[in-house]
Structure 1
Amino acid sequence: MTRTRQLHLNTNALNAGKHPAAWRIQDDPLGIVHIEYYRNIARIAERGTFDALFLADGPALPGTVAEQTWNSLEPSVLLAAIGSAVEHIGLIGTISTTFNDPYNIARRWSTLDHVTHGRAALNFVTTQNPEAAANFGLTTLPDREERYARAEEFVEVLVKLWDSWEDGALVADRSTGQYADLDRIHAIDHEGQRFSVSGPLNVPRTPQGRPVIVQAGDGGTHIAAKYADAVFSAQTVFGESQKFYRDLKTQAQRHGRRPDQILLLPGLFPIVGSTEKEAFERKALLDSFLDPDEQKAELATKLGLEPDDLELDKPLPYHLLDAERFGASAGFYKSTLALARKENLTVRGILARNPGAHRQIVGTPEQIADDIEKWFLGEAADGFNLNADSFPTGLEPFVDHVVPILRKRGIFRHEYTGTTLRDHLGLDRPENRYVGETGWQNHSASSRYVGI
């Protein structure tokens, strides 16, 4: 069925906000550990009919905690608590495939999908922070190739476990005494290079069939093309994002998928003001709390350089950059360099344009709506994972002033028309690949499982 293409918007509830000094202008600077803080963000986003609230995560305490907030609370528990306070908005939480096991994650997110009546999504990352390894008994972080190989098998096992229960497997027939139909419950008997999982899952099939699968970053695009429903990426240049968009959809088609069943949602960092002057004054206030030399040193580390390699009022030393030794995600590295080259930015200019890699727009509601419309209609994005500079005051003007413009232009919903996150995203309920197979007691996955 052909659907009218519709813009998708999430809010990235990144602790205090995207700006490193976000907590300095908050009424409650301790909000990152208060549930009502997150529930308020979700209510504001739901008022704007956003698709979902997104929680990033990292399994290590960052070295910047003396000056900056961080993602503190565990996502699945936090999302369940948020979900009880809102009715429609989807709930996306991040997990690391490097430091978890598929069965526990499959069970946890199936549970989240049940308790939120079909609004759960899982965002998988491989974790590139070497400090995290020591928290899980590892002396070193696995190399990038191994992390992504593990991630691919991890997601394969997730899907198998989520499909191990068919719809209707719970019978609960009082007259016959049958509670579950074993012919609709399937072992997965997965034996791979990194995981051995028998299954089935002990949680029945969820309201969405299975939780929405999201992949963050550019490094795992080949996995996303096979399994993911949405991709969060760092894109700063319109033409390059168009190419990434086409390549992602083409890869998905090679796996037998429809292009509209995988969505590209780059990060976007809007700072909204009633006038340009007001917007830039808000940005200037936040920037005034930062030390340019400290910011320069942090940027150098992310680019795999020494602080003395960078001069604030000169361009990046491109001859010193080495893609094999950068200290941040591949998406950050590529998007930062693309923007710097495209606009011939100095180091100071890069720092002013959000050294967190996601594209920053400072302006009026009309200017921000114009930009979003250009990227959406130009097929550089299906929507955006929005970053507020500081919560909630950075999100409210977007909801109250940008969203009405997008609605008036006919590219964004006026109200929710479905009940699940898959409904909001325009995604089909996935077919269970075990339908018609023999039940789990007599099942051999190697001979009977129909792969993704």
Structure 2
Amino acid sequence: MTRELHLNGFLKPGGTHLAGWRHPDAVPDAGVNLRYVTELVRTLEDARFDAIFIADLIAVPDSGDEVLSRVSVVNDGFEPITLLAALAAATSRIGLIATASTSYNEPYTLARAFASLDHLSGGRAGWNVVTSLVDAEARNFGLGEHLAHADRYARAREFFEVVTGLWDSFDDDAFTIDRASGRYFEQDALHSLDHRGERFRVAGPLNIARPPQGRPVIAQAGSSEDGRALAAEIGEVIFSAARDFETSLAFTTDIKERAVRAGRDPDQVLVLPALTAFVAPSRAQAEDEHRELAALLHPRVALADLEYFLGGVDLSANDLDGPLPVLPTSNQASRSGRELIIALAAQEGLTIRQLAERVSRSEEAVVGTPTDIADHIEEWFTAGAADGFNVAFPYLPTSLTRFTSLVVPELQRRGLFRTEYRGRTLRENLGLDRPRSRYAGATQGSTSTDTTRSEHTA
């Protein structure tokens, strides 16, 4: 089958850039303005994006008031599953992916919420499996500090096993709803999980029909050794932070090879690197807008952003015009992201101030004309460095509307991107098989999506 390019919209209503909310085009209450968010998502659906992705942090970050008061993106936004449930009623084809932590949730509650979202959307839900990052999250759930890295991933594996088991509680054809006989569902088609593991004891069954997709699409973004292993085992959409072609090609190749070793079809694992695009009719205009947005970021916010990506370290006591000091280990940071930043500082001899500017300036962004952006996408996709892209919009709505109105038509003109959706579910549009229930007999669990219970929501 011919490979298809996939585009996911990484949607932060205030913009992915920390100063995006200060842009003249920005909507002041973007994070909690449902009408505005709905308009953005409908624009992406009109452009035939596969899905949107809503990230989440279940805490206010550990930054001083001087920093927190200057940032919108983590301080004023909807809970993701709640937001996506509302968007499900306002859209019809675009996928809806939400972050939910395995460290600070319970499997039964999460399984029920995502199964509900899949039914509400007619089979368009996705779960971005994360283990969380910061101590501030831990303190909101009765812990003094974040779980150790290895403990988080061990918990995540068992958590995932419980959730997917609960999604299989009812067979696909369990609900006969036979008024004549008075039987709502077939008793033999209901299964109790009775999970007794090291971290969880969950009886089940889940009190909702099996999701229309069998299970929501599983997204994952780990790039550490533990993260890559988990991604290869369970991930169907893998978000990557690779900044250059060679790194992305190596990462994509590694994930696909790991998937094969895990007994999976590598074509059922889609790697989507991040793509931050500043696009304008002329390259000069795009470069000007890139610089103008960077100039809106307060220097202390830039430093706090660097401290966050380094694992919550405090660099304020250091000489900002001196080198990055040797840093202690951290349970909070993404290990791979932290190592990339440390390596960048060492390779280029950057001071702390320069490093903060580089991290906050979106230097990995592709800046240019629609042709420039399309060239980047085509090069990475055709060479196998990506199956598509997780497109970030630094300031809204302009960066989103320009991408959809300028870049997408160019990709379509080149025959790289769809002009119509393939199907009605997220799995169909991503080309992913529908998982067979663990209780299915030889005739159950086909790869086509069951719509018996979801036609009225489509």
Judged with a 3 Å threshold, the aligned counterparts in structure 2 of structure 1 residues 325 and 102 are, in CA distance, closer, same or farther, namely closer
1:55 CA drift (Å): 0.3
Residue 386 of structure 1: SS of its match in structure 2? strand
Deviations 1:84-121, CA, capped at 9 Å, x for gaps: 11111000011111110011000000000001000000
Match of 2:12 in 1: 14
Tell whether the 8 Å contact from 1:265 to 1:382 is kept in structure 2 after alignment: yes
Match of 1:109 in 2: 114
Give the structure-2-normalised TM-score. 0.88
Deviations 1:11-64, CA, capped at 9 Å, x for gaps: 111230111111112352112111112101101111211000110001101334
Judged with a 3 Å threshold, the aligned counterparts in structure 2 of structure 1 residues 76 and 36 are, in CA distance, closer, same or farther, namely same
Residue 402 of structure 2: SS of its match in structure 1? helix
Match of 1:324 in 2: 329
1:271 CA drift (Å): 0.9
1:260 CA drift (Å): 0.7
Match of 1:41 in 2: 40
Return the letter of the residue paired with 2:315.
E
Return the letter of the residue paired with 2:163.
L
Tell whether the 8 Å contact from 2:219 to 2:237 is kept in structure 1 after alignment: yes
Residue 53 of structure 2: SS of its match in structure 1? strand
Give the structure-1-normalised TM-score. 0.89
Q: Which ranges in structure 2 are unaligned for 5 or more consecutive residues?
A: 443-458
Match of 1:244 in 2: 251
How do 1:38-437 residues align onto structure 2 when only pairs under 5 Å count? 38-62=37-61, 63=63, 64-71=67-74, 72-219=77-224, 220-292=227-299, 294-296=301-303, 298-300=305-307, 302-303=309-310, 304=313, 306-307=315-316, 309=318, 311=320, 317=324, 320-322=325-327, 324-325=329-330, 328-337=333-342, 350-351=355-356, 353-355=358-360, 359-436=364-441
1:382 CA drift (Å): 1.0
Judged with a 3 Å threshold, the aligned counterparts in structure 2 of structure 1 residues 410 and 225 are, in CA distance, closer, same or farther, namely same
**Whole-Å separation in 2 of the counterparts to 1:209 and 1:342:** 47
Return the letter of the residue paired with 1:251.
R
Tell whether the 8 Å contact from 2:20 to 2:26 is kept in structure 1 after alignment: no
Higher mean C-alpha displacement, 293-302 vs 202-211: 293-302
**Whole-Å separation in 1 of the counterparts to 2:308 and 2:404:** 35
Return the letter of the residue paired with 1:292.
P
Return the letter of the residue paired with 2:371.
E
- Cα RMSD (Å) of the superposition? 2.3
Tell whether the 8 Å contact from 1:51 to 1:89 is kept in structure 2 after alignment: yes
Match of 2:451 in 1: none
1:343 CA drift (Å): 7.2
Deviations 1:344-371, CA, capped at 9 Å, x for gaps: 7676665555438793111111111111
Higher mean C-alpha displacement, 222-231 vs 114-123: 222-231
Residue 278 of structure 2: SS of its match in structure 1? strand
Tell whether the 8 Å contact from 1:236 to 1:336 is kept in structure 2 after alignment: no
What is the total number of aligned residue pairs between the two structures?
431
**Whole-Å separation in 2 of the counterparts to 1:20 and 1:375:** 27
1:415 CA drift (Å): 1.0
Return the letter of the residue paired with 2:237.
A
Judged with a 3 Å threshold, the aligned counterparts in structure 2 of structure 1 residues 340 and 56 are, in CA distance, closer, same or farther, namely same
1:328 CA drift (Å): 2.9
Tell whether the 8 Å contact from 2:16 to 2:73 is kept in structure 1 after alignment: no
Judged with a 3 Å threshold, the aligned counterparts in structure 2 of structure 1 residues 358 and 346 are, in CA distance, closer, same or farther, namely same
Return the letter of the residue paired with 1:178.
R
Judged with a 3 Å threshold, the aligned counterparts in structure 2 of structure 1 residues 263 and 323 are, in CA distance, closer, same or farther, namely farther
Judged with a 3 Å threshold, the aligned counterparts in structure 2 of structure 1 residues 398 and 301 are, in CA distance, closer, same or farther, namely closer
Match of 2:449 in 1: none
Tell whether the 8 Å contact from 1:336 to 1:357 is kept in structure 2 after alignment: no
Tell whether the 8 Å contact from 1:55 to 1:75 is kept in structure 2 after alignment: yes
Identity %: 42
